Amino acid sequence: MAIESIDQTSSHLKLSNPDSTTLVIHLTDDWRTTSHLAAFENVCQGLETMPSLNKVLFDASGLTGWDSKLLTFVLKVRGWCDDRKVDLALEGLPGGVQRLLHLALAVPERQGARKDAERQPFFPRVGEKALQVYASAGEMLAFLGSACVAFGQLLKGKASFRRSDLMLFVQESGVQAFGIVSLVSILVGLIFAFIGAIQLKTFGAQIYVADLVGIAMVRVMGAVMAGIIMAGRTGANYAAQLGTMQVNEEIDALQTLGISPMEFLVLPRMMALILMMPLLCVYADIMGILGGLIVGVTMLDLNPVVYLNETKASFNMTNLWIGLIYSAMFGVIIALSGCLRGIQCGRSASAVGDATTSAVVTGIVSIIIATAILTVIFSILNV
Amino acid sequence: MNEAEPQIVVKDLDMGYGSFILIRNLNFIVNKGDIFIIMGGSGCGKSTLLKLLVGLKEPLSGQVFYDGTSFWEAGPEEQKRIMRRFGILYQSGALWSSMTLAENVAIPLEQYTSMTRAEIQDLVSLKLALVGLAGFEDFYPSEISGGMRKRAGLARAMALDPDILFFDEPSAGLDPVSARLLDDLILELRDSLGTTFVVVTHELGSIFAIGNNSVYLDVQTRTMTASGDPNRLLAESKDPTVRAFLTRGAEGK
**pLDDT at A7 exceeding the cut of 60:** no
A240 and A375 housed in the same domain: yes
DSSP character at residue A259: -
Question: How large a percentage of chain A has pLDDT more than 90?
Answer: 56
Using the Cβ of A249 and the Cβ atoms of chain B, whether some distance falls under 8 Å is answered with: yes
Is the pLDDT reported for residue B104 higher than 90?
Answer: yes
Output the average pLDDT for chain A: 88
Distance of CA A311 to the CA centre of its chain: 43
Co-location of A84 and A216 in the same domain: no
Give the DSSP letter of residue A31.
E
Where residue B56 falls among pLDDT bands split at 50, 70, 90?
confident
Q: Are A47 and A35 in contact (CB under 8 A)?
A: no
**Domain contains A143:** no
Give chain A positions within 8 Å (CB) of B88.
253, 256
Asked if A250 and B97 come within 8 Å (Cβ–Cβ), the reply is yes
Per-residue pLDDT at A113: 62
Flag whether A153 is in a domain: no
Characterise B30 by phi-psi region: left (phi > 0), alpha (psi -120 to 50), beta (else). beta
Contact A256 B95 (CB under 8 A): no
Q: Residue B54's closest chain A neighbor by CA?
A: A256
Q: What is the per-residue pLDDT for B132?
A: 84
Dist. CA A286–CA A176, nearest whole Å:
17
Q: Within this chain, do residues A212 and A69 fall inside the same structural domain, yes or no?
A: no
Q: Is pLDDT of B19 > 90?
A: no
The predicted model gives A72-78 an average pLDDT of 85
Higher-pLDDT residue of A373, B185:
A373
Of A58, A75, A104, the residue that ends a domain is A104
Quote the CA–CA distance of A263 and A175 in Å, as a whole number: 24
In a domain, A72, yes or no: yes
Per-residue pLDDT, B253: 54
Residue A111 reports pLDDT greater than 90: no
With a cut of 60, say whether residue B230 has pLDDT above it: yes
Residue A12's Cβ-count burial label (10 Å; 0-12, 13-18, 19+) is buried
Domain annotation covers residue A199: yes
Same domain, A241 and A368: yes
Whether residue A306 lies inside any domain: the answer is yes
Contact B96, A251 (CB under 8 A): no
> Which chain A residues contact residue B112 at CB under 8 A?
258
Do residue A263 and residue A197 come from a single domain?
yes
**Residue A129 counted as domain residue:** no
Q: Do B96 and A250 touch (CB under 8 A)?
A: yes
What confidence tens digit (pLDDT) does each residue in A146-160 have? 999 999 989 998 888
pLDDT tier for residue A369 given thresholds of 50, 70 and 90: very high
ipTM at complex level: 0.77
Q: Confidence band (pLDDT; 50, 70, 90) for B66?
A: very high
**Choice among A286-290, A336-340, B115-119 with the minimum mean pLDDT:** B115-119
Reported confidence tier of residue A114, pLDDT bands at 50, 70, 90: low
Write down the pLDDT at residue B42. 80
Question: Which residues 250-289 of chain A have a CB within 8 Å of chain B?
Answer: 250, 252-259
pLDDT for the residue numbered A208? 92
Decide which of A117 and B238 is more confident.
B238
**B59 near A CB under 8 A:** no
pLDDT given for residue A73 in this prediction: 84
Measure B33 CA to nearest chain A CA, in Å: 21
Q: What pLDDT was estimated at residue A282? A: 96
Sorted by sequence, the CB contacts under 8 Å of residue A182 that are 6+ apart come out as: A283, A287
Residue A12's domain comprises: 4-104
User: ∠ CA(A261), CA(A266), CA(A267), 5° rounding?
Assistant: 110
Please say which residue of A104, A119, A136 terminates a domain: A104
CA dist A234 and B1 (Å) reads 56
Q: Are residues A261 and A170 in the same domain?
A: yes
pLDDT at residue A3 is higher than 50: no
**Class of residue A49 by CB neighbours under 10 A (exposed 0-12, middle 13-18, buried 19+):** middle
Query: Residue A252: is its pLDDT beyond 50?
Result: yes
Shortest alpha-carbon distance between residue B108 and chain A (Å): 7
Q: What is the pLDDT of residue A217?
A: 94
Q: Is residue A213 part of a domain?
A: yes
Q: What is the pLDDT of residues B27-46, one digit of tens each?
A: 999 999 899 999 988 878 88
B54: contact with A, CB 8 A cutoff: yes
Domains assigned to chain B: 1-84+195-253 (3.40.50.300)
Q: CB-side exposure of B95: number of CA atoms within 13 Å?
A: 29
CA atoms within 13 A on the CB side of A75: 12
The number of distinct structural domains making up chain A is 2
Shortest distance, CA B101 to any CA of chain A (angstroms): 14
If asked whether residues A238 and A357 sit together in one domain, one would say yes
Helix axes B146-157, B101-112, angle to 10 degrees: 10
Instruction: Please check the confidence at residue A226 and state whether its pLDDT lies above 80.
Output: yes
Across A310-316, average pLDDT: 93
Q: Where are the alpha helices (DSSP H) in chain B?
A: 46-53, 76-83, 101-112, 117-130, 146-157, 176-193, 204-210, 230-236, 240-246
Q: How confident is the model at residue A193 (pLDDT cuts 50, 70, 90)?
A: very high
Q: Are residues A184 and A37 in the same domain?
A: no
Last residue of a domain, one of A104, A125, A148: A104
Q: What backbone torsions phi and psi does residue B227 show, to the nearest 5 degrees?
A: -155, 160
pLDDT interval class at A115 (50, 70, 90)? low
Check whether A86 has a pLDDT greater than 60.
Answer: yes
Q: Do A97 and A224 sit in the same domain of this protein?
A: no
Choose among B86, B92, B107: nearest Cβ to A256: B86
Nearest beta carbon to residue A256 from set B83, B95, B96: B83
Type of residue numbered A138: G
pLDDT at A6 (0 to 100): 45
User: Do both A89 and A168 map to the same domain?
Assistant: no
Question: Is B241's pLDDT higher than 90?
Answer: no
- Mean pLDDT for the stretch of residues A213-232: 94
Distances (CA, A) of A120 to A134, A232, A374: 20, 35, 41
Q: What is the average per-residue pLDDT within B234-253?
A: 83
pLDDT at A2: 38
Within a domain: A118: no
Q: Mean per-residue pLDDT for A2-30?
A: 70
* B55 interfaces chain A, CB cutoff of 8 Å: yes
- Mean of pLDDT over chain B: 87
More confident residue, A34 or A319: A319
Considering only CA atoms, which of B14, B61, B31 is closest in space to residue B194? B31
Mean pLDDT of B164-189: 85
pLDDT band at residue B181 under the 50/70/90 scheme: confident
Helix H segments across chain A? 40-48, 68-83, 95-104, 122-155, 163-173, 178-201, 208-216, 222-230, 236-247, 250-256, 261, 267-298, 304-314, 317-344, 349-380
Which residue in the set A241, A244, A249 is minimally distant from B90, CB to CB? A249
CATH number of the domain that residue A49 is part of: 3.30.750.24
Under 8 Å between Cβ of A70 and A30:
no
pLDDT band at A361 (very low <50, low <70, confident <90, very high): very high
Residue length, chain A? 383
The answer to whether the CB of B186 falls within 8 A of the CB of B171 is: no
Beta-sheet pairing, B61-66 with B35-40: unpaired
**A21-35, A101-115, A201-215, B92-106: lowest mean pLDDT where?**
A101-115
**pLDDT digits 0-9 by tens, A264-274:** 999 999 999 99
Rounded to an integer, the average pLDDT of B176-193 is 86
> What does the angle CA B143 – CA B146 – CA B148 come to, to the nearest 5 degrees?
75
A78 shares a domain with A213? no
Residues A247 and A174 in one domain: yes
Report which DSSP code applies to A113: T
CB contact under 8 A, B84 and A257: yes
